[in-house]
Amino acid sequence: MKIVVLTLFPAMFAGPFGESILGRAQAQGKLAISVVDLRQFAHDAHRTVDDYPYGGGAGMVLKAGPLVEALEWAAGQFGQRPLTVLPCAQGRPYGHQVAKELAGEPGLVFLCGHYEGVDERVRAWVDLELSLGDFVLTGGEIPAMAMVDSIARLVPGVLGHADSIREESFAHGLLEGPQYTRPADFRGMRVPAVLLGGDHEAVRRWRRKEALRRTGLRRPDMLARTVLTYEDRLLLEEIEREVPPVGG
């Protein structure tokens, strides 16, 4: 997969994109990420990319000219037209399903707004507006980092073990259950015996049960939307029987 990020602050991306899984994936040729300074597309002496908003108001707005020129340049870096994403507070809520959809694209362009946002006319060159949640950040850089990270790890070959994707939170509509590693006893807190017994079917069932338990406690809205199997319903009945009565 090829990704181009257009931003006023390219240095912000050096750590997140250069380390760990994303860094290795690029070194191995499984992923290509280019971070490009929007000021390259401003042609005045001061490389101006923002201006005061018409009608007054606080802050500055990114100008249409440099941004559209940058988007047109970015589109030319691909063999076919890439999908262009604008991270912004007014966008469609971003989640795991959206990440899966975008991971199937051959190329993506992220346009990072800043200050008071972008000239409204720029949206004619944008395919998708996405929001991380109902809060406002100083710019689109941090949302773009989060989105690229969550998308890239779904690209085949980026993660070392395919099971990491299949078993994690949100992959099947549930939160992931608890995980443990050595030692088996840490300050009196012991790893559940089922994980030490070597019975793979028992481990699978325990993990599913704990995923259901955790989702019900932390995200009942997710559990209500999940298509449950017959086994899931039996496990939920077990969980309900295990809940101690109030005052018990």
Confidence of residue 76 (pLDDT cuts 50, 70, 90): very high
Examine the pLDDT at 137 and tell me if it is beyond 70.
Answer: yes
Q: Are residues 75 and 172 in the same domain?
A: no
* Strand pairing category for 83-93 and 128-131: parallel
Answer yes or no: is 159 within a domain. no
Say if CB 176 and CB 150 are below 8 A apart.
Answer: no
Q: Are residues 125 and 191 in the same domain?
A: no
Q: Are residues 78 and 127 in the same domain?
A: yes
Q: What is the mean pLDDT of residues 79-107?
A: 95
DSSP result, 184-223: SEETTEEPPGGGGS--HHHHHHHHHHHHHHHHHHH-HHHH
Residue 13: which domain range?
2-152
Residue 244: its pLDDT value, please? 73
Q: Are residues 35 and 131 in the same domain?
A: yes
Examine the pLDDT at 138 and tell me if it is beyond 90.
Answer: yes
Answer yes or no: is 158 within a domain. no
Examine the pLDDT at 248 and tell me if it is beyond 70.
Answer: no
How far from 150 is each of 105, 132, 208, CA to CA, in Å? Answer: 14, 12, 23
Confidence of residue 167 (pLDDT cuts 50, 70, 90): low
Q: How many domains does the chain have?
A: 2
Q: Are residues 221 and 198 in the same domain?
A: yes
Nearest to 138 by CA among 165, 112, 108, 99: 112
Q: Are residues 139 and 171 in the same domain?
A: no
Examine the pLDDT at 40 and tell me if it is beyond 60.
Answer: yes
Nearest to 144 by CA among 134, 153, 132, 154: 132
Q: What is the mean pLDDT of residues 212-230?
A: 95
Confidence of residue 151 (pLDDT cuts 50, 70, 90): very high
Residue 169: its pLDDT value, please? 58
Q: What is the mean pLDDT of residues 76-83?
A: 94
Q: Are residues 8 and 131 in the same domain?
A: yes
